[in-house]
A and B are shown apart, each in its own frame.
Chain A
């Protein structure tokens, strides 16, 4: 029987491994559930209406079914999410919501709408593709206004400013707690491991945030009192795209060398929460939009008009400064073109900082041996057992 922080982490892990069971248990208490496929969906609006947002996650099961629905050169995450719909694994959801995201995930959403029976219980939020365009903010506010109206009709409940403010505060609290959790990993000998932090973060995306916050508070309280449990090893930072396959993070910490996973820049990890929505603003939708625009951008939407700058790179450089990785792992879905275009430009920056890196392309399943060899080669470069060029 695990004790202390381990018991709470185990509870979070149980939720990630049994997301449907968890979601259904909430539904049994009378809560409405809305699935979402992209983190640009304003969860606060759903929450303010009493609906629990549940992120659609993949199952990492090898399958060929979706090849008849989505082109094979779309990423495996989009295929896998589409598969969840076609397999009717999420039929219990009351609603599916998506915001105009990358084309791959948009297609997964389309599969649910057209072929998985969600046609009459779906909503697509019109969302800009250039998030830093000056008029983008106003556009999103209008889109969120339309979404709010739809949700009010759907939930048969008007959403007041007080409802939205409460939701904003609940979500901000989650974000602050998750941030505190990951900041443990800045230490040399943290009381939590990177894979554990990733597990907790993934669980938070399918949980009722109030319950999640209570568990996070207890976890952090215990971690603060516990000694470090991770021996210092080579510090590895991951940057890339959506990855809900926790096995890859476990692999990073179970090589033939001592390694610590200390940061994950992805929309299933820190990009999900590393921002806050301004509180107590007169216009709640504007506040939510400000928060979303200020977050670490998804590479598919990251292009500053005028300069063409990729803002995400600023965040990554800051994380490198704060978390001090010895090596960087570029981890992204095969066929995710925005990610691979970022890696081309990011690699020289990481190189310039003198940090060795490697690239891993994700598919439905994790090739443990191949990735392990690549990661160990990276560690050997870091330990100067082979030259770094």
Chain B
């Protein structure tokens, strides 16, 4: 009997409320940018700050309004954006061009809600160029990109941590200038602790999937981390993730799972694509094969112990550690934020193939994988690709490993028949491997 999550609706409501607040705010500050950024500094500007983030918004728009998403992407291409460019980017810019915004509650608001400022990051080649284009299209919105530089062990390099902190300090002064508001360190530090707490809590929740049966499946993992992407700085979101952690711990203690049939445990590398292509999920589901761990759903807004004595560990960080963090000054809080964000698994792997390989080895071992599915997204150049070739070589004699190209939100770029065939073959390989034949 499959378990039904009690906290599910609270998560969905939180996400939709954040978007509604942004879309319909008549007062306060609307802030846009990659939510793959440190968000707490925005909250130093007051309690009426509403955030919209590029990646989660594009992903949920594609999930909620597939037809609209296609129109958005076409509109962006007609306006000149390249066919090969990031499809999240094109969907997001497409909404700006079509002067409307879709919200996860299923409503579409006409008239694009113009942000007061853009606060974002730069890591891949397009990350901040995305918002340069949005800023230009909306008549010149003030934009502050933060170079997160990234790479394996970046959070342990004082030079990189200082660089990121210095940019954020400068950014806070910029926020004061462009908004005319006084920055509250008290509000900022409170938001910073919440932000770090949510990242650690999500890491704890994901780590529980080491158990068999894994309490959560990919469908839930994909849906449960975006609220942390949308706004992870509030007291409410901390309470939600604390409640979810308790619930999932209880599931583990009682041997329950949202998916009862788990014959094969899959480790997945790549941006999540099964929400846009449920056909793939169905093949796996029918065979009792479940994606129990993925760098993307775990590591985009989640933290783990990471590199310990040169080896990666997916063990969780004790949430009590966050309560004891010394965040008594602005610099302390910025430094803690820089370190936690730089140690996100997704960022560790983008520019460091060796970090990615270590993560893969640890994930396969710790999550007891029966198979490894590698699915790079065609339009995402940061999609951990620099490790895929080596990862295939590492695991080729250990567990069935399959790779195919995917696409997050642009269905035109997904070779669905080919991917389905490979997925079916993958299932057969795992079956044979289990019987000792492959």
List A residues at the B interface (Cβ < 8 Å): 68-71, 73-74, 100, 102-104, 106-107, 110, 114, 126, 128-130, 133-136, 138-139, 142-143, 299-300, 303, 305-308, 310, 334-338, 340-345, 347
| B222 at the A interface (CB under 8 A) | no
Find B143's partner among A126, A306, A344 (CB 8 Å cutoff). A306
1/0 contact string of B123-137 vs chain A (CB within 8 Å): 111101111110110
CB–CB A341/B160 < 8 A: no
Q: Provided the pairs A139-B163, A308-B118, A337-B86 are in contact, do residues A130 and B133 lie with their beta carbons within 8 angstroms?
A: no
A-B contacts counted at CB < 8 A amount to: 143
Nearest Cβ in chain B — how far from A215, in angstroms?
Answer: 36
Min Cβ gap A244→B in Å is 20
**B147's contact among A104, A128, A342, A345, by CB below 8 Å, is which?**
A128
Tell me if A107 and B133 are in contact (CB < 8 A): no
Q: Contact between A335 and B163 (Cβ–Cβ < 8 Å)?
A: no
Among the 9-residue stretches B76-84, B271-279, B318-326, B341-349, the one with 4 or more Cβ atoms under 8 Å from chain A is B76-84
- Give the Cβ gap from A253 to chain B, nearest Cβ, in Å: 28
Interface size on B (CB < 8 Å)?
54
- Considering the chains assembled together, what is the distance between the CA atoms of A210 and B390 in angstroms? 42
Which 4 residue pairs across A and B have the least CB separation, nearest first?
A308-B143, A135-B166, A340-B82, A130-B147
Report the bound CA distance from A135 to B145 in whole Å: 13
A-binding segment of B197-205, B206-214, B375-383: B375-383
Q: Is the CB of B81 within 8 A of A340?
A: yes
Bound state CA distance, A204 and B231, in angstroms?
51
Cross-chain contact A337 with B351 (CB below 8 angstroms): no
Residues of the A chain whose Cβ atoms lie less than 8 Å from the Cβ of B379? 73
Residues of B within 8 A of A139 (CB): 159, 162-163
A340 touches B122 (CB 8 A): no
**Which chain A residues lie closer than 8 Å to B174 at the CB level?**
305-306
List the A side residues contacting B125 at CB < 8 Å: 102-104, 300, 336-338
Q: Which residues in A have their C-beta under 8 angstroms from that of B188?
A: none
Contact of A128 among B126, B135, B136, B149 (CB under 8 A): B149
Known: A130-B145, A142-B159. A343 touches B389 (CB 8 A): no
B170 touches A338 (CB 8 A): no
Contacting residues, chain A, for B261 (C-beta < 8 A): none
Q: What is the CB-to-nearest-CB distance from A362 to chain B, in angstroms, rounded to a whole number?
A: 13
Q: Which residues of A contact B381 (CB under 8 A)?
A: 71, 73-74, 103-104, 337
Contact, CB under 8 Å: A129 / B376: no
CA of A388 to CA of B179, assembled, Å: 43
CB of A114 within 8 A of CB of B159, answer: no
**Is the C-beta of B142 less than 8 angstroms from some C-beta in chain A?**
yes
Take A130-B146, A303-B129, A303-B145 as given contacts and tell me if A107 and B385 are in contact as well, using a CB distance cutoff of 8 Å: yes
Query: Whole-angstrom distance between the alpha carbons of A183 and B133 in the complex?
Result: 33
Contact status A308-B131, CB under 8 Å: yes
Known: A103-B382, A114-B390. A129 touches B170 (CB 8 A): no
Q: Contact check, A129 vs B133: say whether CB atoms are below 8 A apart.
A: no
Q: Given A130-B128, A341-B133, A305–B167 Cβ distance below 8 Å?
A: yes
Q: Which residue of B lies closest to A101 (CB)?
A: B125
- Asked whether B144 is an interface residue with its Cβ less than 8 Å from the other chain, the reply is yes
Inter-chain contacts of A104 with B (CB < 8 A)? 125, 381
> Are B390 and A345 closer than 8 Å at their CB atoms?
no
- The interface residues of chain B lying within 8 Å CB-to-CB of A138 are 163, 166
B85 within 8 A of partner (CB): yes
**Residues 40-99 of B at the A interface (beta carbon under 8 Å):** 79-82, 84-86
Let me know if B113 is at the binding interface, CB within 8 A. Answer: no
Could you say which of B118, B126, B142 contacts A337, with CB atoms under 8 Å apart? B126
Tell me the bound Cα distance from A305 to B174 in angstroms: 9
The residue in A100, A307, A342 that gathers the most chain B C-beta atoms within 10 A of its C-beta is: A307
Sample 15 A-B pairs with CB under 8 A, ordered by A number: A70-B385, A71-B381, A71-B388, A103-B124, A103-B125, A103-B382, A103-B386, A139-B162, A303-B132, A305-B144, A305-B167, A308-B118, A308-B131, A342-B129, A347-B80
Residues of A with C-beta under 8 A to B382: 103
Say yes or no: is B171 at the interface (Cβ < 8 Å to chain A): yes
Distance of A68 Cα from B385 Cα, bound (Å)? 11
Asked whether B353 is an interface residue with its Cβ less than 8 Å from the other chain, the reply is yes
* Residues on the A chain within 8 Å of B171, using CB: 305
A129 vs B150: C-alpha distance in the bound complex, in angstroms?
Answer: 10
Inter-chain CA distance A136–B129, complex, in Å, is 18
Bound-complex Cα distance A92 to B130 (A): 41
Chain A residues positioned under 8 Å from B136 (CB to CB):
308, 345
The answer to whether B79 and A306 touch across the interface, beta carbons within 8 angstroms, is no
Partner pick for A307 among B86, B130, B143, B389, CB 8 A cutoff = B143
**A143–B159 CB distance below 8 A:** yes
Asked if B82 contacts A337 (CB within 8 A), the reply is yes
Task: Determine which of A133, A308, A347 lies in contact with B167 in the assembled complex, contact meaning CB atoms within 8 Å.
Answer: A133
Whole-angstrom CA separation of A100 from B70 in the bound complex: 34
Least CB distance, A122 to chain B, in whole angstroms: 13
The distance in angstroms between the C-alpha atoms of A129 and B162, with both chains bound, is: 15
A139 to B128, CA, bound (A): 20
